[in-house]
Amino acid sequence: MRVVAQAVIAALLLALATTQSAAAAGRCGEPPERPWCDTSLAPDARAQLLVDQLTQEEKFSLMAGDDATGVFLAFRDPRAHVGTSLGVERLGIPTLFFTDGPLGVRQGMGTGLPAAMGLAATFDPAVARRYGAVVGNEAKLKGNDVVHAPVVNLMRTPLGGRTFEGYGEDPLLTARIGVGWTQGAQSEGVIANVKHFAANNQEADRFVTNAEVDERTLREMYLPQFEANVKEGRAGTVMCAYNRVNGVPACENGFLLEDVLRDEWGFEGFVLTDYGFAQKSTAGSANNGLELEMPQAGFYSQANLAAAVTSGQVPQAAIDLHVRRILRTMFSFGIFDREAYVNDDAQIDKTGHADVTREIEEAAITLLKNDGVLPLRDGQVKSIAIVGADADGYKRGGGSGQVEPFTFTSPRAGITKRAGEGVEIRYDPGNDPVAAAAAARGADVALVFASDNQTEFADKPCLSLECGNPARGDQDGLIDAVATANPNTVVVLETGGPVLTPWRDRVRAVVEAWYPGAEGGTALARMLFGDVDPGGRLPSTFPRREEDKPLDGNPRQFPGVAENAEYSEGVFVGYRHYDERGLAPAFPSGHGLSYTTFGYRDLRIEPSPAGAVVSAVVTNTGGRAGVETPQLYLGLPEPRGDVPQPPRALKGFTKVALEPGQTRRVRFSLDERALSYYDVAARGWRVAAGCYGVAVGRSSRDLPLQGVLARGGASCSRSPGSGRPPTEQPGGGLPTSGCNARAFSLRLPDPRGRERLVSASVTVNGRRAPVRRRGGRLVARIDLRRVTAARPRVRIVARTSRGRTIRLARTYRRCSVPCKRSATVRVRDPAGQERFVSARVTVNGRRAQSSVSPRGVRARIDLRRVPAGPAKVRIVARTSTGRTVRAQRNLRACGRRRGRV
């Protein structure tokens, strides 16, 4: 009996072993009949063996997808793949299945992850790996081989409809997060498809627009993220974009697809098109690096390819090369040597993935402002008003990055659960500000939820909440109404990127939750109640005013004229734009508050032959544990006038969790590339000799540690011009003038560096003012006597030597303003987390009394002792980061009061 049992077990084991070895052989077949199935051969050799066996028709068929409808059906149907490319059964070539990312899998339902901008806000590549792994795992368990993600296009304009799918405005941050995503997804056995290559930065005219971008800008701003994903992330595929780049369609751009991607970066995978309209020709693409047309054959149809080869337009070698690259990639990712992935949602660990989304969102939520109202304290908060329909739903972006979540916890549900039984929760959808205010009145705290609307296919018309999400009505008005009714109002933004926050001074805290993902409600509740420290830091600047944003008012740059978008702003993208123009943002890039505070000291810069190691000591100076994100910025010297450098560029960041009082030295390694600019003439990266400004701190505008790194024998005794702490230059460096003259000359300052103003048109309330060149500078003559308005508006449109257009506006006060006996003068709102620490106020050179609070300087000016006439009030204030803020107000004194007889 025992022997029989043993025999049965042995037979079972043998059967099992046999199935396992067959499974391990995958779909390829047996090496004796199919030599390319020999797994001991290198992918290239296997691919070549197979190419030799293919008929011409089979080769052509491998160069185009075979499913035109999946891309649409996938929004709802779990069986629909976003794309399919049939294999060749005769030779055991597997069919490839594709799906969309990056915020989750778009194929029926999936786990909804926080917006990619939220992931970028974590400033944490390890979190990006976990994120990519969740998406990669679900892509696999839904039967796919390739996932169309990550999106690593830079946020060139905050109006971009797909801002929520990308990682913000800095190429380094985008590269680091993108690489993490790719590595995470590919660790699950699917191929990441990095998209959209390249300079794909707007939805307007998206199938045809031409990105006219100089090579230095392309290399420094728009390509490094792709380069990192190819070289470090080892992404298996790249999606070429809809747009053209310098006149050549991205999907037939030999410079991008062959010279840069293959020859320079060593890409060994394959290139496939964005869907439908990216490919613009047969021969152009076949001869310039495009392997696969998606989602179905058009230019790469049998007929078109056959005609192109027969006529000699496309050499046979090009066809063989493309097919070999596709097969090589499939071999190197093991697709031949495994079974097809099974499409069945039941395999997905939905609860486990939901937990990961919660943790990611906790690391993403960015606390923009907090005057102490947060965290909410258990026991002290007895009632919470939740206002806004977004609190009660699942907020997400639209298009191919849209995910239908398996389940979700709304903010309202998450907060209600976390608050517990003893806390009264009032909810109002916010459709009527009066009703919302009534709900908020008397609650211990009012949480107002506001959102924007982002979707593929359309850019936003403007940055205000109302314009960004008209369906929700006047959200700014709603916030104002609630803030008036409840002094403890907290605004929670669920946006995919920057928005205007005109009410920020009227509310006690501002939280950016992004599109928060499936467990966003739980994460938000935990953050609001202080169970976790808010982990996020801004991956993009929130401007103070609409007109401050990059590319504003310049249609040649965005959305372009006659389908041509000039990238004439060059490298001045994102915070580089605001820094260059001296514009104070509402919330700067890199900014985000913790519930504790951190101190920075002891900057060390240790040069190495290739670069340097920069380190600094960070201390948790507050009373609770927290996570800080120290950031390193460099101000590079300008080697020549035609290589302008921004005041600072992010070159390193890290995360450090510290207990109260705990201290740690954080280190940043700078390699040669970090110090380099792209020298177009020399066709390579070069390190300029000179002084490199080194700045370490907690945001791009809060950099308490400053130093200098000398390169190429430069002598740098003090901080160089670049890399200095930002100085406030309202309106982009124009002097603020006022009622000191009825007519005056306005000297138009050149931008930083060697850029010059070459021409300018100046108007005063619409009337042209004369502009002359004097002493090398443009000077406008402003005559306020001919203007009747009390506050004339001067507008300047200037062209620079680099072809940039600069627009500035300034409001003046006419001299007819009434004289005053006393006045209150204020300077408010330093950048980000900065505080004012001291101030000196003078009236016509004599010291006046003033009071300083962290958020503002207030001076009560007594003009009774000032002789009648102009009274120049000057304020020179110091901030906590060592910055000097200067302001001037021109008043008119009525003169000494005469005694009455």
Strand segments (E) across 250-316: 270-273
Distance in Å, CB of 222 to ligand NOJ, minimum: 16
Q: Which is nearer to ligand NOJ, 343 or 400 (CB)?
A: 400
| Chain position carrying tokens 């093991």 | 334
Residue 405 beta carbon to ligand NOJ: minimum distance, rounded to whole angstroms: 18
What are the contacts of 787-792 at 24+ separation with CB within 8 A?
A: 787/814, 789/765, 789/814, 790/814, 790/816, 790/817, 792/764, 792/765
- Is the CB of 200 or the CB of 620 nearer to ligand NOJ? 200
Question: Active-site residue among 67, 100, 214, 274?
Answer: 274
Nearer to ligand NOJ, 100 or 628 (CB): 100
The first and second tokens of residue 585, run together, are 């943002």
Q: Which is nearer to ligand NOJ, 198 or 808 (CB)?
A: 198
881: left (phi over 0), alpha (psi -120 to 50) or beta: alpha
Name which of 97 and 331 has its Cβ closer to ligand NOJ. 97
Among 130, 140, 142, 148, binds ligand NOJ (CB under 6 A): 148
Distance CA 728, CA 579 (A): 9
Q: What would the x/- binding string for ligand NOJ be over residues 857 to 876, using CB under 6 A?
A: --------------------
Q: Nearer to ligand NOJ by C-beta: 148 or 262?
A: 148
* Rounded-to-integer distance, Cα 706 and Cα 448, Å: 39
Cβ(302)–Cβ(61) under 8 Å? yes
Q: 174: buried, middle or exposed (CB in 10 Å: 19+, 13-18, 0-12)?
A: buried
**Smallest separation, CB 103 to ligand NOJ (Å):** 11
Least distance in Å: CB of 823 to ligand NOJ?
A: 56
CB of 98 to ligand NOJ, least distance (A): 8
Interface map 393-412 toward ligand NOJ (x if CB under 6 A): -------x------------
Task: Say whether 483 sits in a helix, a strand or coil.
Answer: helix
| Rounded CA separation 818/272 (Å) | 69
Q: How far is the CB of 400 from ligand NOJ (least distance, A)?
A: 4
Question: Is 380 exposed, middle or buried, given 0-12, 13-18 or 19+ CB atoms closer than 10 A?
Answer: exposed
- Dig out the tokens for 489 from the structure: 């109002």
522 CA to centre of own chain = 24
- Listed residue (188, 208, 223) closest to 333, CA to CA: 188
Q: Are 450 and 477 in contact (CB under 8 A)?
A: no
Least gap, CB of 275 to ligand NOJ (angstroms): 4
Rounded to a whole number of angstroms, the minimum distance from the CB of residue 195 to ligand NOJ is 5
What secondary structure letter does DSSP report for 657? E
Angle of CA points 837, 839, 841, to nearest 5°: 165
Tokens of 376: 């909410």
Long-range CB contacts (< 8 A, 24+ apart) of 429-434?
429/387, 429/388, 429/389, 429/392, 430/387, 430/388, 430/389, 430/472, 430/475, 430/478, 431/389, 431/473, 433/474, 433/477, 433/478, 433/480, 433/481, 433/482, 434/481
Residue placing its CB nearer to ligand NOJ in the complex, 295 or 637: 295
862 is catalytic: no
**Residue 145 contacts ligand NOJ per CB under 6 A:** no
Distance in Å, CB of 238 to ligand NOJ, minimum? 12
- Residue 751 phi, psi dihedral angles, 5° rounding: -65, 175
Question: In terms of Cα–Cα distance, which of 543, 545, 440 is closest to 491?
Answer: 440
Rounded to whole angstroms, the Cα distance separating 20 from 367 reads 52
Distance in angstroms (rounded) separating the CA atoms of residues 297 and 60: 9
Query: Is 400 or 454 the residue whose CB approaches ligand NOJ more closely?
Result: 400
Residue from 50, 82, 228, 240 touching ligand NOJ (CB under 6 A): that is 82
Name which of 104, 70, 110, 67 is nearest 86 in CA terms.
67
Show contacts with ligand NOJ in window 628-647 (CB under 6 A). Answer: none
The contact mask relative to ligand NOJ for 195-214 (x = CB under 6 A, - = no) is xx------------------
Residue from 181, 275, 333, 598 binding ligand NOJ (CB under 6 A): 275
Of the pair 400, 557, the CB lying nearest ligand NOJ is at 400
Residue from 43, 84, 100, 497 in contact with ligand NOJ (CB under 6 A)? 100
Q: For residues 163 and 850, which CB has a smaller minimum distance to ligand NOJ in the complex?
A: 163
Minimum CB–partner distance for residue 264 and ligand NOJ (Å): 25
- The whole-angstrom separation of Cα 530 and Cα 415 is 12
Please say which residue, 195 or 813, places its beta carbon nearer to ligand NOJ.
195
Q: Minimum distance between the CB of residue 503 and ligand NOJ, rounded to whole angstroms?
A: 35
| Nearest of 754, 798, 792 to residue 779 by alpha carbon | 798
E strand map for 473-557: 489-494, 509-512
Nearer residue to ligand NOJ within complex by CB, 194 or 523: 194
Q: Where are the alpha helices (DSSP H) in 204-300?
A: 215-217, 224-231, 254, 283-286
Kindly identify the residues of this chain, within the stretch 718-747, that bind ligand NOJ according to CB under 6 A.
Answer: none
CA distance 383 to 465: 27
How many residues touch ligand NOJ (CB under 6 A)? Answer: 9
Residues in region 361-400 near ligand NOJ by CB under 6 A: 400
Site for ligand NOJ in 36-75 (CB under 6 A): 71
Q: Which is nearer to ligand NOJ, 148 or 219 (CB)?
A: 148
Tokens standing for residue 466: 């109302």
| Helix%, strand%, coil% for the chain, nearest 5 | 25, 30, 45
Q: How far is CA 607 from the centre of its chain?
A: 31
Pairing of strands 564-566, 210-212: parallel
Paired with 710 in beta bridges are 691
Q: What span, in angstroms and rounded, lies between the C-alpha atoms of 678 and 694?
A: 20
Least distance to ligand NOJ from the beta carbon of 723, Å?
Answer: 37
Which residues are at the interface with ligand NOJ (CB under 6 A)?
71, 82, 100, 148, 195-196, 274-275, 400
Would you please indicate which residues are annotated as catalytic (active-site) residues?
274
